Chains A and B, each alone.
Chain A
Amino acid sequence: DTAVSQTPKYLVTQMGNDKSIKCEQNLGHDTMYWYKQDSKKFLKIMFSYNNKELIINETVPNRFSPKSPDKAHLNLHINSLELGDSAVYFCASSQGDNSGNTIYFGEGSWLTVV
């Protein structure tokens, strides 16, 4: 029973297309995240939502738009895809208070833009 699940796992698409990645967690957490991991394995936070409210929005292009319909789901929509968007995108979740909570990651979505 997967705790944080994201789909699709692999996505190959052409430049200029629009695509979405979906994420769901069944841990009862109230905070969800999107991270981007580049080819050098560097992991950078993009967004964080707490109870459907955006709380962290790092310097991410406007082409990236997260949407949280409820606290168990956080989807990522990307418009006008560029070559540099190729990366692995990880969804994650944790309890929302700042007490050193563990972050639980999904298995990643491998996005390749050609």
Chain B
Amino acid sequence: AQSVTQLDSQVPVFEEAPVELRCNYSSSVSVYLFWYVQYPNQGLQLLLKYLSGSTLVKGINGFEAEFNKSQTSFHLRKPSVHISDTAEYFCAVSDRHSGGYQKVTFGIGTKLQVIP
């Protein structure tokens, strides 16, 4: 079984400061990893995902994440946040070998609060 742990439920950060949102996963097999963002009163949308290849993945809105297999982590970073980045961020994992169909498990989310 796969699981995702997001270590911080809330992260306050000042505008233009860097931010890191932490994510660790647990799985007995190879995985795909995702970060989704949910703005207030909206559905989730994909920020970025790791499928294979380079462990540094770049996404939309200046976000990036690094896959670290030895530490089973996929932390999300942005060098300088804007007010508009205030949202809930979800890390997610899916097993590469789940029998032909995709089953994605989401973390509990991290609320990023950007302070002016």
Contacts and interface: CB of A to CB of B under 8 A. Distances in A.
A97 B43 contact: no
Contact of B43 (A50, A101, A102, A108): A108
B55 interface: no
> Among B34, B102, B103, B105, which residue has the most Cβ atoms of chain A within 10 A?
B102
Given A42-B108, A42-B109, A94 B102 contact: yes
Interface string B41-78: 11111100101000000000000000000000000000
Interface residues of A, number: 28
A65 B103 CA distance: 20
A85 B17 CA distance: 39
A108 B101 CA distance: 24
Given A100-B94, A105-B45, A45 B108 contact: no
A36 to B, nearest CB: 11
Interface of B: 32, 34, 36, 38, 41-46, 49, 51, 88, 90, 94-106, 108-109, 111
A106 B36 CA distance: 13
A91 to B, nearest CB: 9
Given A105-B44, A107-B43, A98 B109 contact: no
Contact of B42 (A31, A101, A107): A107
A48 B103 contact: yes
Contacts of B94: 98, 100
Interface of A: 4, 31, 40-45, 48, 50, 55-56, 90, 92, 94, 96-108
Contact of B109 (A31, A41, A107): A41
A68 B57 CA distance: 35
26 contacts: A4-B43, A31-B101, A31-B102, A40-B108, A41-B109, A41-B111, A42-B109, A43-B90, A43-B106, A48-B103, A50-B101, A56-B101, A56-B103, A90-B43, A94-B102, A97-B102, A98-B94, A98-B96, A98-B101, A100-B34, A100-B94, A101-B102, A102-B34, A103-B104, A104-B45, A105-B43
A98 B108 contact: no
Nearest to A30: B101
